[in-house]
Amino acid sequence: MSGLRYVYAICRPLEAPLQAQLTGVAGAPAKPLHHHGLVAVVSEVPEQDFTEDALRAHLEDLDWLAATARAHQGVIDALTVVTTPLPLRLATVFRDDSGVRSMIEAREEHFLRTLDRLSGRVEWGVKVYLESEGQESEPAAERPAPKAASGRDYLRQRRQQTRASEDLWQRAETFATALHEKLAAFAEDTRLHAPQNATLSGAAGRNVLNAAYLVPRDRSEEFVELVDRTKDDAPGLRVELTGPWAAYSFAGELPEEERA
Amino acid sequence: MTTPSRLPDTYGPSSGANLADILERVLDKGVVIAGDIRINLLDIELLTIKLRLVVASVDKAKEMGIDWWESDPALSSRARRDELARENAELRERLARLEELGLEKGAERTGRTLPKEAP
C-alpha cells in the first residue's frame, strides 16, 4: 500500500472474517490491521484527497461528504454485525501502518476498557417529531385569520393562536419526556442530542426529541417493541427509530470514574 | 460476556437512517483521535458545515430542498423583509394594547362598562 491509511474503527480480533469485498471510502477495500491484541480496520486512501487542505475543501462539498460518510458508516455497519466496533470519527487518517500501530499502543488501555464496557451493546436512535403545527387537531390555526376589525379583535386572535400552539408544544414535551423516561429505564445508558434541522434531514415536522439509547443487542427486540407500542399514543406526533448503530454516542468519552 | 460472536443481524444495518442521522454520528460522535492528517472536525458543527456547503453550492442545496438560510436575516434580503414584517406585527400588537388600555381608562372615567367580547 502506498497511499494514506484511513481508520474506521478499533475492535477485538474478529472471530468471523470480514465480508470478502468490504468497500470503504474512495472505493478501496477495508482490511483488518492486527496489533497488540487489537484490530484497526483500515483502508488505503489517495494522498491527493486526504491531505489537510484537500480534506478541508472536500468537507465543503456535500456530494463528497455524503458519499464518504455513507462509506464510513457502511464499514462500521458491517463490523457491527460481527463484533462490537469502536467507531472513530470521520476522516481519521495516518501516513502509514506504523502510524496506526503507534496510535493503538498509545491508547491500548483505553480501547480495551471501552470495548469491555460496550461489548455486545448497540445504539438505537429515537426521534420525536411534532407534525406540522396546526394539522387536524388545530384547524383554526391553519386557516388564514379573518381580518381584525379592531385592535381588540387582533389581540384576541393572537392570543388564540398562541394558546393553540402552546397546547401542542406542551403535549409534545410531555409525550417526549415520558417516552424518554420509559426508554431510559430500559436502556443501559442514554444521550440526548440536539434536535435535527429539518432542512438537512428532509424529515417532515419539527424534531422535539433526538436521543440515543445503549441497549444489549440481545435485548434489542424488546426495545424495538417498546418503541413501537408508543407510536400510536400521540396524535400529531411522530416517533422514528433508527438502528442498530455501533455505539457512536457512547464510545467517544471517558467512563464515569475518569470524568471530573 | 466479552467474547464477540457472530451476532444475528435482525434489523439490517441502520435501517431508516437519513443523511443527517449518519452525519450526526460520523462527524459529531465516535472516538476522536488526532491522526497524522490534522483536520479539526471538533470545530465543525453540523450547522457550520451546512452553511459552508450552502454557500459553496447554492444551486445544489436548493435542489436538495435546503434553503434555511433564506430565513436568516444575516444571510438573505428576503429574510430582512420578513424581519420588517415581524416588527410591523409587533408594533401593531403594541398599538392594540395601548388602544385597549385607553378604552379601559376611558370607561373608568365615564363609569360605563366595556361591551362584552363575543365568545
Helix (H, G, I), strand (E, B) or coil at B75: coil
Q: What integer is the mean pLDDT of B54-78?
A: 52
Q: Which residue of B has its CA nearest to A7?
A: B35
Helix (H, G, I), strand (E, B) or coil at A60: coil
Q: Which of A187, A223, A122 is nearest to B8 (CA)?
A: A122
Cα–Cα distance measured from residue A79 to residue A242, given in angstroms and rounded to the nearest whole number: 17
User: Is residue A156 classed exposed, middle or buried when 0-12, 13-18 and 19+ CB atoms within 10 A define those classes?
Assistant: middle
Residues of chain A with pLDDT under 70: 1-2, 132-147, 197-202, 253-260
User: Is residue B105 classed exposed, middle or buried when 0-12, 13-18 and 19+ CB atoms within 10 A define those classes?
Assistant: exposed
Q: Which of A22, A21, A48, A32 is nearest to A100 (CA)?
A: A32
Q: Which of A181, A211, A179 is nearest to A196 (CA)?
A: A211
Q: Which of A77, A26, A254, A168 is nearest to B31 (CA)?
A: A254
Name the residue facing B33 among A70, A73, A88 (closest C-beta).
A88
Which pLDDT score is estimated for A123? Answer: 97
The partner residues of A38 in beta bridges, in order of sequence, read A35
Q: What integer is the mean pLDDT of B24-43?
A: 80
Query: With contacts defined as CB-CB under 8 Å, which chain B residues touch A203?
Result: 18, 20
Give percent above pLDDT 90 in chain B.
1
- Contact between A72 and B26 under an 8 Å Cβ cutoff? The reply is yes
Which pLDDT score is estimated for A181? Answer: 96
- Contact between A192 and A211 under an 8 Å Cβ cutoff? The reply is yes
Mutate which of A92, A127, A213 to test chain B, going by most B C-beta atoms within 10 A?
A: A92
The CA-to-CA distance between both ends of chain A, in Å, stands at 42
pLDDT at residue B24 tops 90: no
Q: Which of B77, B97, B11 is nearest to A124 (CA)?
A: B11
Q: Which domains does chain A have, with CATH numbers?
A: 4-118 (no CATH), 121-138+165-258 (3.30.70.260)
Express each pLDDT in B67-114 by its tens digit.
555 555 555 556 667 777 887 888 888 888 888 887 776 665 555 545
How large is the greatest C-alpha to C-alpha distance in chain B, in angstroms? Answer: 87
Name the residue facing A252 among B18, B31, B64 (closest C-beta).
B31
Q: Under an 8 A CB cutoff, do B37 and A52 touch?
A: yes
ipTM: 0.83
Q: Under an 8 A CB cutoff, do B26 and A72 touch?
A: yes
C-alpha torsion sign, points B51, B57, B59, B60: negative
Per-chain mean pLDDT for chain B: 63
Q: Under an 8 A CB cutoff, do B4 and A83 touch?
A: yes
Q: Which amino acid is at B39?
A: I
Name the residue facing B4 among A15, A72, A125 (closest C-beta).
A15
Q: Which of A125, A115, A107 is nearest to A85 (CA)?
A: A115
Cα–Cα distance measured from residue A242 to residue A126, given in angstroms and rounded to the nearest whole number: 6
Cα–Cα distance measured from residue A39 to residue A101, given in angstroms and rounded to the nearest whole number: 10
Which pLDDT score is estimated for A136? Answer: 43
Beta strand residue intervals within A76-154, DSSP E: 86-87, 93-94, 121-130
Q: Nearest CA of chain A to the CA of B1: how many Å? A: 8
pLDDT at residue B65 tops 80: no
Q: Nearest CA of chain B to the CA of A236: how many Å? A: 20
pLDDT category at B3 given cuts 50, 70, 90 is very low
Name the residue facing B25 among A60, A217, A248 (closest C-beta).
A248
- Contact between B50 and A200 under an 8 Å Cβ cutoff? The reply is yes
Mutate which of A41, A49, A89 to test chain B, going by most B C-beta atoms within 10 A?
A: A89
- Grid cell of B47 as nine digits: 450547522
Cα–Cα distance measured from residue B73 to residue B86, given in angstroms and rounded to the nearest whole number: 12
State residue A235 phi and psi, 5-degree precision.
-65, 140
Beta strand residue intervals within chain A, DSSP E: 4-11, 31-35, 38-45, 86-87, 93-94, 121-130, 189-192, 206-216, 237-245
